[in-house]
Amino acid sequence: MNNMYLQLTRNRMISVKAHCCRVFIFFVFLLTLTNAGAQHKNISIIPQPESMKITKSRFTVNPETKIIVHKGDAEALRIANMLAQKFQAVAGFTITVTAADEHPAKNAILFSIIQDDSSLGDEGYRLSVTDSIVHVNAARPAGLFYGMQTILQLLPAEIESPQPVENIVWNIPGVEIKDKPRFTWRGMHLDVCRHFMPLDFIKKYIDYMAMHKLNTFHWHLTDDQGWRIEVKQYPLLTKIGAWRKESLIGYINDTPHRFDNTPHGGFYTQEEAKEIVQYAKERFITVLPEIEMPGHATAAIAAYPWLGVTGKQIDVATYWGVFPDIFNVKDSTFDFLENVLTEVMDIFPGEYIHIGGDEAIKDQWKASEAIQQKIRELGLKDEHELQSYFVKRMEKFINAKGRKMIGWDEILEGGLAPNATVMSWQGIEGGIAAAKSHHDVIMTPIQSLYFWTYQGDPKTEPLAAEGYIPLKKVYAFEPIPSTLSAEEAQHIIGAQACAWAEYMEDTKKVEYMVFPRMSALAEVVWSPAAVKSWKRFAAKMPKQFKRYDYMGINYAKVPLSP
Ligand code: ACM
């Protein structure tokens, strides 16, 4: 009896122990599931992919994980190495990258170029994550790069830490993604004239763009307040034109104007600019240089007064706004501009050259007898037609060099150059007019995509340009106006946001103004209209903020209103 009791008790005890053990295992399992579930729910890919199916799988990257690329595929190898380097820096372990035509059955990340998958275009990719294999494939290297960016965003945000982070399980939730961009032009602009930005920051800016799958960096290199690119034939452009004696403090309309009494300036040597072009190329970003003409020319005319209309010696501008000094239209000035653009084209191999064309005040042209004489000689009606003549003449030169010209929407005034692409900034109307006359258009309207404006209450926000463009307004921007026919809409090749730097006196302020708005821009230009959702985007942003934190980005802590 006793024995039996004992036996029973033992059995019970054994069974109780086993039960506890099962319950414990069950809870651990549940916890793992919940964790996996949480990670699955917490997927924050920005921009939102074209299509994504979330599965129950989960891949864990560990020191034994292998990255495999096809033999002889140098670009895939380079991109795979970028992923491996991320782990090296943050996880403290090395993942080997191997070029091979075979791969292990499990614990492998595969990067492959499949040339005949034309549905992916030049920039699309497919990404499959199962328990055993992560496979990204694309028709072109750019697609692999974007697939790699998506893998980074599926990983814990800690992957963006520059320093090792402990106790992280590097899980990638199971997904089946097919993704490609909506627009071919996905741009971000930076004005380095109002405030000069160091080379290292330009690289960071390019990294930020790459993370958002943006592909065109519009580098605003010349303006009234500074000429920022070395031109070997005209050294005074940077010796004189890159420097101003002081800068305005406060808002442009504050009276009286106050100045900081501190010289400001800087420029990029051609070697440095080429370094940026290469850095950007490695991240599938094209650099678009902008050389302003015929207005916004104060710094150039300060360097070489014979380029101007009055012939007077002037100073590089020290405050903001538009200025009366404008290039004259002598052949010697066109020679100068062509020589400058020849050097610029040698540095920047991209398809497009931006010639500005905005806000050219024509008072000096009106007042000059020589200019009026030229207008009559050319049989032109007025100064608008003279600007059109100017721009068309530059376009001819640019086209003869095998490149395409872009100008701000003022180049529509007086007649558009035959092959010009228009950047529509004053609104969308210039873009609509250009598209209707079969010209390509990039939408960058001041009302939605100018990141120099406030993102919050001006009373509590740091100084910015007048205007209120919160994250949600950026997100809501639709680049294709509903008034265009399907054929005309084809001419809207994309959109871009502008970061004018009057009120961005250093790199931290640039980050503050640009972030988090760059994340909203990314969905505007990449994600199909049908998958865009403010609610989902807002839900994804906390993880994006965490990434920004690890990257050290000084972003604006904006509310994510419903
Ligand atoms: C511009 O904002 N003036 C293009």
The one-letter code for the residue type at 409 is: D
Residue 359 a catalytic site member? yes
Question: In Å, what is the CA distance from 289 to each residue of 191, 221, 352, 436?
Answer: 11, 7, 8, 26
For the chain, how long is the longest CA-to-CA vector? 126
Share of the chain above pLDDT 70, in %: 93
Structure tokens that stand for 520 in this block: 């909203």
Q: Does residue 379 have a pLDDT over 90? A: yes
Q: Tell me, in angstroms, the distance from the centre of ligand 1 to residue 258's CA.
A: 24
Average pLDDT value over all residues in the chain: 93
Architecture of the CATH domain 185-527: Alpha-Beta Barrel (3.20)
Mutation pick for ligand 1 pocket among 323, 443, 500, 502 (CB with most ligand atoms within 8 Å): 500
pLDDT-derived band at 105 (thresholds 50, 70, 90) equals: very high
Structure tokens that stand for 130 in this block: 């199962």
* CATH level 3 topology of 40-179: Chitobiase; domain 2 (3.30.379)
Per annotation, catalytic residue among 296, 354, 439, 491: 296
pLDDT-derived band at 42 (thresholds 50, 70, 90) equals: confident
**Can you give the residue ranges of every domain in the chain?**
40-179, 185-527
- Rounded CA gap, 284 and 261, in Å? 41
Q: Tell me, in angstroms, the distance from the centre of ligand 1 to residue 201's CA.
A: 23
The one-letter code for the residue type at 186 is: R
Atom number of ligand 1 nearest to Cα 423: 4
What was the pLDDT predicted at 31? 42
Q: Tell me, in angstroms, the distance from the centre of ligand 1 to residue 435's CA.
A: 19
Helices (H), 49-198: 74-91, 141-154
What was the pLDDT predicted at 39? 64
- Rounded CA gap, 514 and 510, in Å? 6
Residue nearest to atom 2 of ligand 1 (CA): 425
Could you give the count of Cα atoms lying within 13 Å of 117 in the half-sphere of its Cβ? 20
Residue 212 a catalytic site member? no
Q: What is the pTM of this model?
A: 0.93
Atom number of ligand 1 nearest to Cα 296: 3
161: nearest Cα among 243, 218, 88, 220: 88
Q: Tell me, in angstroms, the distance from the centre of ligand 1 to residue 322's CA.
A: 10
The one-letter code for the residue type at 127 is: L
What was the pLDDT predicted at 38? 62
Residue nearest to atom 3 of ligand 1 (CA): 358
Share of the chain above pLDDT 90, in %: 91
Atom number of ligand 1 nearest to Cα 408: 4
Mutation pick for ligand 1 pocket among 425, 447, 496 (CB with most ligand atoms within 8 Å): 425
Structure tokens that stand for 48 in this block: 């939102």
Residues with CB under 6 A from ligand 1: 358-359, 408, 425
Residue 223 a catalytic site member? yes
Query: Per-residue pLDDT averaged across 410-420, rounded?
Result: 96
Write the CB contacts of 301 (distance below 8 Å, at least 6 apart in sequence). Answer: 307, 308, 314, 325, 327
Q: Tell me, in angstroms, the distance from the centre of ligand 1 to residue 425's CA.
A: 6
Other Cβ atoms less than 10 A from the Cβ of 417: the count is 25
Q: Does residue 59 have a pLDDT over 70? A: yes
What was the pLDDT predicted at 32? 44
Rg (alpha carbons) of the chain, rounded to whole number: 28
Query: Per-residue pLDDT averaged across 204-223, rounded?
Result: 98
What was the pLDDT predicted at 356? 98
Per annotation, catalytic residue among 75, 122, 272, 359: 359
